Amino acid sequence: MSSMENHESEPRAIERPAWSTRETSEGAQGLFPRRITEPGEIGRESGAVLRLPEGPVLDPSQIDIDRPDDETMIINMGPQHPSTHGVLRLMLELDGEVVLRTKSVIGYLHTGMERTGEDLTYVQGATNVTRMDYLSPLHNELVFSMATEALLGIEVPPRAVWIRTLMCELNRVGSHLMWMATNGMDLGSTSMMIYGLREREMIMTFFEKTTGLRFNTNYIRPGGVAADLPDGWLDDIEVICDTVEARSFEYDDLLTGQPIFRERTEGVGSLTAEEALALGVTGPLLRSTGVPWDLRRTMPYMAYGELDFDVIVGTYGDNFDRYAIRLAEIRESIKMIRQLIEKMPSGDYRLQDPKVTPPPRGRIDTSMEALIHHFKIFTEGFKVPEGEVYTAIESPRGELGCYIVSDGSSKPYRMHIRGPSFVNLQCLPLLLRGGLLSDAVAVISSVDPVMGEVDR
Amino acid sequence: MSDASIGILSGVPQQAGIGVDQIAFPSRDGYQGLVSSLRDSGFELCADLCAVDYLTHPGRRLPDGIGPERFEIVVNLLSLSQKRRLRIRVQVPEAEPVVDSLFDVYPGTEAMEREAFDLFGIRFAGHPDLTRILMPEDWEGHPLRKDFGDGRVPVQFKEIPGPR
Amino acid sequence: MGLEDLPHNFLTGTVEELVKWARRSSVWPATFGLACCAIEMMAAGAADYDLARFGMEVFRNSPRQADLMIVAGRVSQKMAPVLRQVYDQMMEPKWVISMGVCASTGGMFNNYAIVQGVDQIIPVDVYAPGCPPSPETLMHAILTLHEKIRTGEITKRRAEGRPLELEPAPSSPWTPDVPTAVRLGTPR
Amino acid sequence: MDQYLPVLGLLILGILFAAGSFVGSALLAPRKKPSAAKLSPYECGIVPELDPPARFPVRFYLVAMMFIIFDIEIVFMYPFAVVFRQLGTFGLVEVITFSVVVFVSLIFLISSGALTWGPVKRLTRGMPSRTSESTIARITADPASGRAA
């Protein structure tokens, strides 16, 4: 571990950026109100980001900031912390309780998934990708399968398209319920945690019934869906929709009725539209600033073209807006699920092309050709023509993109996943600046980062 | 395709990608200029920036006039007003893997460029804080390069797949 | 003389049983939620699969007040020193459940970034299989640990080695002491 | 003499309790010497290279001072509460003047901004009260064009 002494001895490959001595418009990190700072400075955000080596926790006096009163202290809101939603570490520069600058240190859950993705065939790829964003795993599988199908140039049968949309919307409701739970817990209402997880259990049992696992299911595969919907799925989903919709109004009264909740969310962590666009923020964070950008509406994929739903847009871009957006999106998703149930087409749930879809187990014993297909697909995998493609869908956290380069073999040559949380985390220093430490807790939970997707 | 971006892209070799994608191949020094002019012409959001190592797959489809190099920086721009995507692929030679940083054009690419530096070793000139982001500070080597051994612990019942 | 030097005899027999029973029925877990298994651990702690029935009502976040560390998720190379530090800072007696295959053996990620099994860093008492282990599996692991506490020694008479200094490539991984016979099956 | 018997009893009890806890922990605590990691401060898992900052901003000490004010006030209230019937109005006036004097220092502390910890950036002042429905706008897909704005 790089202790303090050998930090200086090993030649610093990169010279220290001279941000500390450069005169920013905010003077020597003085606390001027935000409206004096010109947009350029905000865009650059060197004012709010603490650019330090993340190794040791430094003493402020050692990083030669010319602050008149060296009362600021740099503390760690480290990887093992109850309210950092996983293993995110924040190096916070505090003046008493007020957060001045932040550096979000990530990588504590780096699993090398993009490297593992290069060693797995396209058939196995979804199992690796589904473990990235573990709150909405079906979205990862969907974006990987859509990218593979785009490379193969194949069309998925209509029933598979509608089943995929149905499962993804259910997954979105589950992910937003988990967010409501942890956001409530962070702001002190443990009962919200229990309610949120109780509703989510109903969706988990439906996933277990359909796919066999509660999540990380590998249910959406290139070429369609792993299995058809179980019988009796119709009234399961109706029960879920009615219960969750009725209870979402209960959560609304539980939370917005509380002065503590309103005090800690209204006006806290506010973001403006041009800052969000400059930082590449997408999803509920971008919509909370008033930009009506939802990939399901503007670039419809799967069955979203035929569904009637509203895009929810906020006004102030603060925590309360993001809470209201996610709550309303739960209701929108339920509205969509109800439409999906009525118009669910019949037919086969998987592409009948033997090169891509393995034959059903029963037929292997009888026909030799089925056995050969089965053997080839599961050992070596199907070959994907050479080329590269970038597909993007709207996951509960923002634009989830998958960039695959294929060299004609049966394993992706390069598989990169654009994680929405990875980019959304960059607006943390901007949102935390000038707020209290307890506001930092509320803002981290309202940005809703999932560390599996951030660190990949 | 708004006429502004057609004019900008006219000088740059292009290629049609799969589906509706459109790909541009600027040279390394014209890269930052092109991206900033594209941003002014309507591409408000830079969705993604990643690097690709083409060590063991040199023969890839490139428009004529573009020499294939080992590394490639892939930038995905997104235009909210025109609902359009554009992909920019820049060739980066192995001898001198340095590219201009997009931080001044899109501050959102800071973390993505740090990840490209961390996993591939491609340096970005003008980046405010080019340090490792995912790997530990004192890690040697860049893991996603094709010649970096994949650190696989030999499993008893499986032959050891050598580095590809 | 500490508790562990208590001689095994007629007089102190029931005291040991009492101490072990007390410890077994109020084991407070320190959340070490890393990845997908953390979500299953939360689901196990919530209303449907309530962990409070086993005396684990509250998830202590600081290691100073926790007895049990549930390593829930894959441990990356950058996280290993943090894991070791938090384990060292936990109060004696302490136990470890390695939840999920990624924590137990590195799981499907056999690559440069993941520590292939958390028992290379800290001694583990119970391994919970599954990816992610469903809340029932986690509860079975917890009950197995309760059995181990109830039937095991009063304090783990551990090999008196100094805490493992984590060099980059641990030449001889810390060989955990062989756990005393753990009776599986339906705990009483 | 018998007046001071309860004081003596209290003293003995105090000493017994203090000594008892030390002996108990010496008896039952594990004898293993705590490792360096256990003695170091808990930094959310990060191995701290430097000891934590010694200098803390003044605000923290002001809060400590406020506690001391109330603490002393309570300490003097206890004996008064025991005998306040015998003291009659004289005792009452005495205690009121005492607490007013102590209260003045509290007023000074609050006026000098000891409790204003609020963040620099607060938008709530002058923000209209809103509900979770009023703060969001819904953009429906206008059926005419089939594609919303």
What integer is the mean pLDDT of B129-146?
88
**Does residue A127 lie within any of the structural domains?**
no
SS3 call for A100: strand
**Does residue A434 lie within any of the structural domains?**
no
The answer to whether A86 contacts C42, with C-beta atoms less than 8 Å apart, is no
**Does residue A56 lie within any of the structural domains?**
yes
- What's the domain range around A41? 2-105
Residue ending a domain, choose from A62, A83, A105: A105
Task: Give yes or no: residues A95 and A187 share one domain.
Answer: no
The answer to whether A71 contacts D57, with C-beta atoms less than 8 Å apart, is yes
Task: Give yes or no: residues A210 and A310 share one domain.
Answer: yes
Phi-psi region of A264 (alpha: psi -120 to 50; beta: other; left: phi over 0): alpha
Task: Please tell me which residue of chain B has the smallest CA distance to C76.
Answer: B135
The answer to whether D46 contacts A95, with C-beta atoms less than 8 Å apart, is no
* Per-residue pLDDT band at D33 (split at 50, 70, 90): confident
In this prediction, residue D149 carries a pLDDT of 38
CA angle B101, B106, B111 (to 5 degrees): 65
Residue C165 corresponds to which tokens in the numbers above?
């200094």
Task: Give yes or no: residues A83 and A222 share one domain.
Answer: no
ipTM over 0.85: no
Task: Give yes or no: residues A63 and A188 share one domain.
Answer: no
* CATH number for the domain that contains residue A323: 1.10.645.10
Residue ending a domain, choose from A342, A357, A380: A380
For B136-148, b/e burial (b = at least 16 CB within 10 A) is bbebeebbbbbeb
Task: Give yes or no: residues A277 and A189 share one domain.
Answer: yes
* Predicted confidence (pLDDT) per residue in B24-35, tens digit: 999 888 899 999
* Predicted confidence (pLDDT) per residue in D97-138, tens digit: 999 998 998 899 888 878 777 665 555 556 777 888 888 888
Residue B26 C-alpha, separation from nearest chain C C-alpha, in angstroms: 34
CA angle D78, D80, D84 (to 5 degrees): 135
Task: Give yes or no: residues A188 and A297 share one domain.
Answer: yes
Q: Which chain B residues are closer than 8 Å to A416 by Cβ?
A: 48, 50, 52, 74
Of A444, A432, A398, the residue nearest A417 (C-alpha): A398
In this prediction, residue B125 carries a pLDDT of 92
**H-helix or E-strand spanning residue A284:** helix A284-288
Name, in order, each residue with C-beta under 8 angstroms of C28's C-beta and a sequence gap of 6 or more. Answer: C56, C58, C59, C60, C65, C66, C67, C68
Task: Give yes or no: residues A93 and A195 share one domain.
Answer: no
User: Is B17:B85 a contact under the CB 8 Å cutoff?
Assistant: no
R_g (Cα) of chain D, nearest Å: 30
Task: Please tell me which residue of chain A has the smallest CA distance to B57.
Answer: A407
The more confidently predicted of residues D50 and A115 is: A115
User: Is C46:A190 a contact under the CB 8 Å cutoff?
Assistant: no
Number of continuous H segments (helices) and E segments (strands) in chain D: 3, 1
Task: Give yes or no: residues A296 and A229 share one domain.
Answer: yes
Task: Please tell me which residue of chain C has the smallest CA distance to B141.
Answer: C112
- Say how far apart CA D149 and CA D137 lie, in whole Å: 14
**Does residue A13 lie within any of the structural domains?**
yes
- Say how far apart CA A258 and CA A192 lie, in whole Å: 12
Interface test with A, best of C76, C102, C164, C165 (most A CBs within 10 A): C76
SS3 call for D140: strand
The answer to whether A57 contacts D135, with C-beta atoms less than 8 Å apart, is no
Token pair 């000490």 is found at D61
Q: Which chain D residues are closer than 8 Å to A437 by Cβ?
A: none
Interface partners of chain B (CB pairs < 8 Å, 3 or more) are A, C
Task: Give yes or no: residues A314 and A223 share one domain.
Answer: yes
Amino acid (one-letter) located at D7? V
**Does residue A275 lie within any of the structural domains?**
yes
For each of the domains in chain B, give its residue range(s) and CATH number, in order of start: 3-106 (3.30.460.80)
Residue C123 C-alpha, separation from nearest chain B C-alpha, in angstroms: 20
Residue ending a domain, choose from A344, A364, A380: A380
C49: number of Cβ within 10 Å: 17
Interface check C179 vs D, CB under 8 A:
no
Backbone angles phi, psi at C55, to 5 degrees: 80, 10
The more confidently predicted of residues D50 and A34 is: D50
**Does residue A44 lie within any of the structural domains?**
yes
Q: Decide if pLDDT at D16 tops 90.
A: yes
**H-helix or E-strand spanning residue B40:** helix B31-40
pLDDT tens for chain A, residues 1 to 456: 333 333 333 333 333 233 333 333 333 333 333 444 444 444 444 456 666 555 544 454 444 444 445 567 778 888 888 888 889 999 888 877 888 888 889 999 999 999 999 989 999 999 999 999 999 999 999 999 999 999 999 999 999 999 999 999 999 999 999 999 999 999 988 899 999 999 999 999 999 999 999 989 999 999 899 999 999 999 999 999 999 999 999 999 999 888 889 888 888 888 889 889 999 999 999 999 999 999 999 999 999 999 999 999 998 888 999 999 999 999 999 999 999 999 999 988 988 888 888 888 888 888 888 889 889 898 888 999 999 999 999 999 999 999 999 999 999 999 999 999 999 999 999 898 888 888 899 999 999 999 999 998
The answer to whether C74 contacts A197, with C-beta atoms less than 8 Å apart, is no
Q: In 3-state terms, chain A is what percent helix, strand and coil (to 5)?
A: 50, 15, 40
A375: number of Cβ within 10 Å: 12
Task: Give yes or no: residues A276 and A180 share one domain.
Answer: yes
| pLDDT mean values, one per 10 residues, chain C (188 residues) | 67 81 90 90 90 86 90 92 90 89 90 88 91 92 91 60 43 39 34
Amino acid (one-letter) located at B105? V
**Does residue A131 lie within any of the structural domains?**
no
Residue D125 corresponds to which tokens in the numbers above?
């002042």
Q: Which chain C residues are closer than 8 Å to D35 by Cβ?
A: 88, 162-163
β pairing state of B98-100 and B123-125: parallel
Interface check A327 vs D, CB under 8 A:
yes
Count of residues making up chain B: 164
The answer to whether D46 contacts C85, with C-beta atoms less than 8 Å apart, is yes
Task: Please tell me which residue of chain C has the smallest CA distance to B163.
Answer: C111
Q: Which of residues 3-42 of C touch B (CB under 8 A)?
A: none
**Bridge partners, residue A225, by sequence:** A220
Task: Give yes or no: residues A13 and A88 share one domain.
Answer: yes
Residues from B contacting C (CB-CB < 8 Å) are: 134-136, 139, 143, 148-153, 155
The more confidently predicted of residues D140 and A69 is: D140
Interface partners of chain A (CB pairs < 8 Å, 3 or more) are B, C, D
Task: Please tell me which residue of chain A has the smallest CA distance to B162.
Answer: A119
Q: Which of residues 23-52 of A touch C (CB under 8 A)?
A: none
**Does residue A409 lie within any of the structural domains?**
no
Strand order, beta sheet including C29-33: C29-33, C68-72, C95-99, C126-128
In this prediction, residue B149 carries a pLDDT of 77
Helices (H), chain C: 10-24, 36-45, 80-88, 101-105, 135-151
* Predicted confidence (pLDDT) per residue in B52-108, tens digit: 999 988 878 888 888 888 999 999 999 999 898 999 999 999 999 999 999 989 999
In this prediction, residue D131 carries a pLDDT of 84
SS3 call for D47: coil
In this prediction, residue D50 carries a pLDDT of 63
Count of the separate structural domains present in chain A? 2
Residue A432 C-alpha, separation from nearest chain C C-alpha, in angstroms: 23
Determine the distance from the C-alpha atom of residue A126 to the mean position of all C-alpha atoms in its chain, rounded to a whole number.
Answer: 17
Task: Give yes or no: residues A38 and A186 share one domain.
Answer: no
- Say how far apart CA A329 and CA A341 lie, in whole Å: 18
